[in-house]
Structure 1
Amino acid sequence: MAISGVMNQRGTWVTAMVAIASFYVVFAIQTGGSLEIVVHTGLAAGFVALAIIGARTSSWILVAALLGHGVFDVFAGSVIANPAPGWWGPFCLGIDVVLALALGAMLWRGRTLD
């Protein structure tokens, strides 16, 4: 994002959050469990809603959504059926935290999103 010059664009962060939330739906579709598809689609819709709300109100909500998804990655398998491969949770946690910290640092320094 930094190399391409789109880090200051609000839509970039919303798109990243939507993509991150969608992966569990894809994994649920691959496993073929209808209930898992419905549950993970609902969870993804919640994160998408947070991204949209964050884009329209406060970019700090995007930071919270990214961190929240990281926490979800840690606990998903112990609370609900987790269709993702075993390595996915720790990997996605790392991505979520790095993105949340990057956006949080930008906002803390007073940079705003376009």
Structure 2
Amino acid sequence: MPTFVGIALALTVATFARLVGFDRDRAFYPFVLIIIASYYILFAVMVGDNAGLLTELVMFALFAVAAILGFRTSLWIVVAGLAMHGVFDFARSHLLEGRGVPEWWPAFCLAYDLTAALGLAAILLIGKRKPRSSGI
């Protein structure tokens, strides 16, 4: 169920952003990456994991740098950052203790992150296509 909800939520957020025009600004998806990366800090603070907080801040900084670089240079870096955060979500439970992270979170966040990465990649690819001339 967490995987399905992650996919559905990512599609809903992307659709909503497209319909109301939030994603017209190139800052939208980099900002999404920053927000996604910040949740582990929240989890550490919620359970008072001061030792883990430093690790979470370092990991957050890596994804924030990717978001900033992607914003300033190429949104493809943001696509990679979203996808890598999904992989991080999957591998994280095997590498870091992560007290406070709900049991269902890695599957949910992996699904959300990969769906968002694929969605942004599709937007970038579609945007590069030139309209066909009608031959008139």
Q: For residue 66 of structure 2, what is the aligned residue in structure 1?
A: 50
TM-score (norm 2): 0.78
SS at the partner of 2:56?
Answer: helix
User: Structure 1 CA distance, aligned partners of 2:111 and 2:19?
Assistant: 20
Q: For residue 101 of structure 1, what is the aligned residue in structure 2?
A: 118
Q: CA deviation at 1:70?
A: 0.1
Q: C-alpha offsets along residues 50-69 of structure 1, whole Å, 9 cap, x if unaligned? A: 00001111110000000000
Q: Runs of 5+ in structure 2 lacking a partner?
A: 1-16, 129-136
Rg (Cα) greater in structure: 2
Q: Runs of 5+ in structure 1 lacking a partner?
A: none
User: Structure 2 CA distance, aligned partners of 1:7 and 1:90?
Assistant: 25
User: Structure 2 CA distance, aligned partners of 1:108 and 1:95?
Assistant: 20
Q: C-alpha offsets along residues 85-113 of structure 1, whole Å, 9 cap, x if unaligned? A: 011111111110111011001111235xx
Report which structure shows greater RCO (CA 8 Å, sep ≥6): 2
SS at the partner of 1:48?
Answer: helix
Moved over 3 A (4+): none
Asked if 1:18 corresponds to 2:57, the answer is no
Aligned Cα root-mean-square deviation (Å): 1.1
Number of residues paired by the alignment?
Answer: 111
Query: Partner amino acid for 1:9?
Result: D
